[in-house]
């Protein structure tokens, strides 16, 4: 079953979404020369040309072949761009098409997609699969941003928005009352991924959660106190990770003559004290929490702090939708080019009093990535979630490079606990 309800969008709206995702992808690489697309193998990072071919291949497999032609658009694409069957390390040695050949393949697939959508009202299957391909491409656009950071390339040339409102730190906790809470997506949602299905009741005890993510200034206190050298703050796997990597501070931090610096793409900038600590792994976040006598929130606690209305005592809805323009009340869509102060965007504050729960940095939770009760593999992209259950940790909210149409409270991102190249930070709860 391709849809969970009779949800449709006009063809023109779907075309605009698909084109917008593709334009963002191309903008992320258009200033890179051929040499910058031919980089040596790096663990955990995809070759940029492979990333480009893969987003086109995904649309071919999960849209064109399901709704249109059956044969391959590019001979050999299945052997090169199938992410589930082509291991990360193998991707670096594949005989990939040239830059021109890759862009040509992307254009050929896009033409087929747009022809199938047409200009009338799309049926539910077309709507669902177009959204699936669009959001998948959005994810890989964010991954290309991570890659540019990892490779020390210049920041991507993208449209910048106006300066955000507010600023500075945002200390303190808010109290969230205990009780039953509906975790997961509602079946009436326009589009959900398989791991969001479905909303179910969970009991959440009363808890206190920080109004904002941990800042650079706060995290530097842990680093300067020798937190990376003291075994007592790390669990067994975390200490093995720290010992294996030799980390003494977050991966992009360096000591300058006047204090800490942080590498932002291709340049070192002073560590802004009120920016959220970012590019930290789950292991590092957990160690900080032990040092600070705090803890990470569970996924259910994070969701409740984001969506629970203290006044009405019910779960609210944040009005994000797929056709919305770029958000001006959250740091999303790369409009700021990086993180901003945790006190920015006061208009983004949740009904419970937590700020920036969508945007700025993805936030680690303590929860392992597992399916919700009753999970069924009825999703067209069967390899999206099922292979990763149990191995990853859940992140929530979205980072500054996340597209606003993807950043919604029920969305469950997931990564291995040692990943620090992603735009991830964390907020804490009282013990």
The per-residue pLDDT for 109 is: 97
Give the C-alpha separation, 197 to 59, whole Å.
23
Indicate whether 246 pLDDT > 50: yes
| Residues 6 or more apart whose Cβ sits within 8 Å of residue 188 | 5
Look-up: residue for tokens 């292979």? 387
Look-up: residue for tokens 């419970």? 352
Q: What is the mean pLDDT of the chain?
A: 92
Give the C-alpha separation, 234 to 96, whole Å.
42
Give the residue, 309 or 76, on which the prediction is more confident: 76
Max CA-CA distance within the chain? 63
CA distances from 283 to 46, 112, 261, 431 (A): 23, 44, 22, 18
CB 174 within 8 A of CB 354: yes
The per-residue pLDDT for 377 is: 82
- At 374, list the tokens: 């009753």
- At 29, list the tokens: 């690489």
CB 405 within 8 A of CB 359: no
CA distances from 87 to 45, 138, 211, 396, 419 (A): 11, 21, 40, 26, 18
Count of C-beta atoms within a 10 Å radius of residue 391: 12
- The torsion of the CA quartet 97, 82, 54, 361, rounded to 10 degrees, works out to -140
pLDDT tens-digit profile of 381-420? 888 999 999 989 999 999 999 999 999 899 999 999 999 9
The per-residue pLDDT for 18 is: 97
Indicate whether 144 pLDDT > 50: yes
pLDDT tens-digit profile of 336-367? 999 999 999 998 899 899 999 999 999 999 99
Lowest mean pLDDT segment, chosen from 56-60, 173-177, 207-211, 328-332: 328-332
Look-up: residue for tokens 């009338």? 120
Report residue 212's pLDDT band, with 50, 70 and 90 as the boundaries.
Answer: very high
Give the C-alpha separation, 114 to 130, whole Å.
10
The per-residue pLDDT for 42 is: 79
Q: Can you say whether the dihedral through the CA atoms of 255, 258, 259, 262 is positive or negative?
A: negative
Indicate whether 2 pLDDT > 50: no
The per-residue pLDDT for 324 is: 54
H or E stretch covering 80? helix 77-81
Look-up: residue for tokens 């291949």? 57
pLDDT tens-digit profile of 56-108? 999 999 999 999 877 799 999 999 999 888 887 888 888 899 999 999 999 99
Q: In the chain, what are the domains?
A: 11-150 (1.20.120), 161-431 (3.90.1580.10)
Give the C-alpha separation, 263 to 152, whole Å.
8
The per-residue pLDDT for 1 is: 36
Closest CA to 126 of 136, 114, 137: 114
Q: What angle do CA 225, 292, 339 make, to 5 degrees?
A: 85
- At 421, list the tokens: 């190249």
Indicate whether 3 pLDDT > 60: no
Look-up: residue for tokens 């480009």? 52
Beta bridge pairs of residue 16: none
The per-residue pLDDT for 317 is: 61
Give the C-alpha separation, 212 to 183, whole Å.
22
Q: Percentage of the chain with pLDDT > 90?
A: 77
Closest CA to 353 of 215, 174, 181: 174
Average pLDDT over residues 215-223: 98
Instruction: Specify the pairing of strand 362-368 against strand 424-425.
Output: parallel
CB 337 within 8 A of CB 155: yes
């Amino acid at each position: 079953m391709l849809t969970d309800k009779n949800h449709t969008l006009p063809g023109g709206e779907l075309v605009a979404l698909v084109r917008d995702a593709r334009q963002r992808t191309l903008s992320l690489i258009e200033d890179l020369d051929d040499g910058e697309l031919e980089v040596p193998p790096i663990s955990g990072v995809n070759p940029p040309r492979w990333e480009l071919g893969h987003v086109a291949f995904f649309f071919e497999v999960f849209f064109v072949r399901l709704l249109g032609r059956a044969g391959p658009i590019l001979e050999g694409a299945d052997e090169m761009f199938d992410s589930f069957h082509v291991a990360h390390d193998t991707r670096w040695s594949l005989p990939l098409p040239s830059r021109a050949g890759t862009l040509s393949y992307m254009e050929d697939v896009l033409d087929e997609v747009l022809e199938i959508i047409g200009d009338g009202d799309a049926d539910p299957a077309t709507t669902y699969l177009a959204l699936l391909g669009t959001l998948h491409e959005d994810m890989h656009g964010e991954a290309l941003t991570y890659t540019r950071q990892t490779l020390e390339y210049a920041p991507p040339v993208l449209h910048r928005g106006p300066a955000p409102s507010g600023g500075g730190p945002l200390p303190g906790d808010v109290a969230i009352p205990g009780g039953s809470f509906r975790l997961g997506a509602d079946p009436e949602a326009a589009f959900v991924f398989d791991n969001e299905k479905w909303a179910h009741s969970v009991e959440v005890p009363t808890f206190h959660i920080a109004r904002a993510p941990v800042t650079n200034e706060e995290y530097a206190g842990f680093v300067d106190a020798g937190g990376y050298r003291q075994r007592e703050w790390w669990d067994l796997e975390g200490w093995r990770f720290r010992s294996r990597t030799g980390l003494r501070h977050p991966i992009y931090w360096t000591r300058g003559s006047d204090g800490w610096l942080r590498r932002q793409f291709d340049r070192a900038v002073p560590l802004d004290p009120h920016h959220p600590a970012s590019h930290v792994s789950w292991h590092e976040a957990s160690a900080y929490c032990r040092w600070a006598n705090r803890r990470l929130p569970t996924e259910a606690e994070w969701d409740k702090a984001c969506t629970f209305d203290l006044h009405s005592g019910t779960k609210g809805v944040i009005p994000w939708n797929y056709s919305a323009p770029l958000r001006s009340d959250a740091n999303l869509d790369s409009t700021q080019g990086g993180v901003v102060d945790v006190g920015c965007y006061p208009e983004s504050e949740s009904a419970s009093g937590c700020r920036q729960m969508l945007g700025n940095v993805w936030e680690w939770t303590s929860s392992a990535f597992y399916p919700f009760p009753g999970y069924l593999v009825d999703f067209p992209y069967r390899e999206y979630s099922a292979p990763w259950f149990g191995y990853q940790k859940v992140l929530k909210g979205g980072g500054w490079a996340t597209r606003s149409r993807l950043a919604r409270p029920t969305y469950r991102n997931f990564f291995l606990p040692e990943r620090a190249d992603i735009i991830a930070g964390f907020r804490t709860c009282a013990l």
